[in-house]
Amino acid sequence: MSLQRYGIRHQVIEFGLPSGRAYADPFNEITVDVLFIGPSGQEHRMPAYWAGEQEWRVRFAPPEVGTFHYRTLCSDESNADLHGQEGWLTVSSYEGDNALLRHGPLRVHREGQFLQHEDGTPFFWLGDTWWMGLCRRLSWPDDFQLLTADRVAKGFTVIQIVVGLYPDMPAFDERGRNEAGFPWEREYARINPAYFDMADLRIHWLVRQGLVPCIVGCWGYHLLWLGLERMKQHWRNLVARYGAYPVIWCLAGEGAMPYYLSEDKERDRAALKEGWTELSRYLRQIDPYGRPITIHPTDVGRDQVLDDRWLDIDMLQTGHSGLASLPNTVQKVRREVARRPAMPVVEGEVCYEGILEDSREEVQRIMFWACFLSGAKGFTYGANGIWQVNTAEQPYGPSPHGASWGDRPWSEAYRLPGSAQLGICKALLERYEWWRLQAHPEWIEPHADEGDYLNPYAAGISANEGETRIFYFPRALVPWRELPRLKGLDAARSYRAFFFDPKTGAQHALSTISGQETWPVPLPPVMQDWVLVLEG
């Protein structure tokens, strides 16, 4: 019997597939897929997820308008309830205002340098880090929706979130539970569908509010505990649950990092790199949508695997030592931007605000501008207290190494000023074609280099109809020190110049620059870090 269903382009439709035949261990005994064939003839083989007892469910987000035909495929072909069921799905266009549905899911630009929506609209990655955001310490719905609303208001676009196999703890640590327990049964016999039902509410809410979930499958070392085949089952379940949403896949956090108390770190590191290479290939194979894939690294994402051809985004982690992490950050960004084949370079973790009682808001601004003006196409913020979801009643406590990262509750950490200030900085870049921004350190002297990474940064956007140059001064400009000088200006152009306050967004106009190839930078209104913009 054929069934008729209705859907909306890019919006998730879900339906159940109950089995009249009982299986003793349904999760491990069979698999179910649904093959959707679109009006253009394109096929999408979507894994179905085991929903508990004798039911499987499928989620599908039709990528085009028109009529789809679908057919169920079960590894047990003799089960007529799960194999060979057919139907039709009539899809209409989306008329709402959710940008993720209006512009479509994300993909990498054909030249490999930045992310964009399906319709070609560039996507600005300003991420926030909620590693343990699916645990019960961030309660649903009150806490989760409060934090989401704050991040939307500040201009964030991506949330990094781990699906239950967390960092900084051993397996089945009580701090990792959500309201329905752990994602896997003990001994990894099978998944716990009720855990994912609670996670679904949170992931769906992020998308509904216009945020892209960067779904981290686990912290890297869990691969050695689950083993390759169980981890493939874990990822198949994630694709079935969340692949229809406009997500980014992150294979693992600190992918090649052995467990903190590992007795043979070199052996484990080699095994992890080999394992995540295979998992990246497997994920590409089973995801019918081809969502962008990355891996959160110990340093450079492309170096966490033996073959990076299955990765789409080069994610970095560059330190938590405040300004002492700036040289490594800039060096890694510059090196990876120049690496070929090109991938969007995204800073995935650096100097969480307040970590080690350091890395205050000015460090957040410096890292943001140093990354973008060095060629990065995304930046991820983090606040100590949020990533581990401290609460006043239940601080996270010690890591496996015995020390604690700090007890500031998330309800205080989300108000730290750096998060709002990065939203202000993002808003400035979004006035321009930021995705075409290219580093030009030669445009200012002195400029940031091996001698001093607190010297100014410069980048620009060139076009036939005009030119924009953006400079950032991490160190305050003061009257008792020689001021920088702009170089290489186009004497045939006139430039409208202004200082931009990265703390407040206030703008201070300067005189027009015309007929000059060099220009001395004047003193800004206050001695602090500043952005200088020249609009040609």
pTM check: above 0.85: yes
| pLDDT score for 147 | 98
Q: CA 536 → CA 460, 467, 479, 493, 527, distances in Å?
A: 11, 5, 28, 6, 26
Which residues does 217 contact at the CB level (< 8 Å), separation at least 6?
A: 162, 163, 165, 231, 234, 235, 238, 249, 250, 251, 252
Q: Are strands 125-129 and 158-162 parallel, antiparallel or unpaired?
A: parallel
What number does CATH give the domain 2-92? Answer: 2.60.40.10
Q: Answer for the pair 191, 237: CB distance below 8 angstroms, yes or no.
A: yes
Q: Which residue has the tokens 């406590």?
A: 397
Distance linking the first and last C-alpha atoms of the chain: 65
Taking residues 457-483, what's their average pLDDT? Answer: 91
Which residues does 4 contact at the CB level (< 8 Å), separation at least 6?
A: 87, 88, 90
Nearest 5°: phi and psi at 267? -60, -45
Interval 218-260: pLDDT, tens: 999 999 999 999 999 999 999 999 999 999 999 999 999 999 9
Select from 251, 249, 284, 247 the least CA-distant residue to 12: 247
Q: Which residue has the tokens 């179905």?
A: 48
Distance (Å, whole) CA 212 – CA 378:
13
Binning pLDDT at 50, 70 and 90, where does residue 465 land? Answer: low
Give the Cβ contact number of residue 514 at 10 Å: 11
Interval 367-417: pLDDT, tens: 999 999 999 999 999 999 999 999 999 999 999 999 999 999 999 999 999
What number does CATH give the domain 106-432? Answer: 3.20.20.80
Domain ranges of the chain: 2-92, 106-432, 440-535
Q: Are strands 125-129 and 378-380 parallel, antiparallel or unpaired?
A: parallel
Do 440-535 and 106-432 have the same topology in CATH? no
Distance (Å, whole) CA 192 – CA 27:
10
Does the pLDDT value for residue 450 go beyond 60? yes
What number does CATH give the domain 440-535? Answer: 2.60.40
Taking residues 279-300, what's their average pLDDT? Answer: 98
| pLDDT score for 2 | 67
Interval 317-375: pLDDT, tens: 999 999 999 999 999 999 999 999 999 999 999 999 999 999 999 999 999 999 999 99
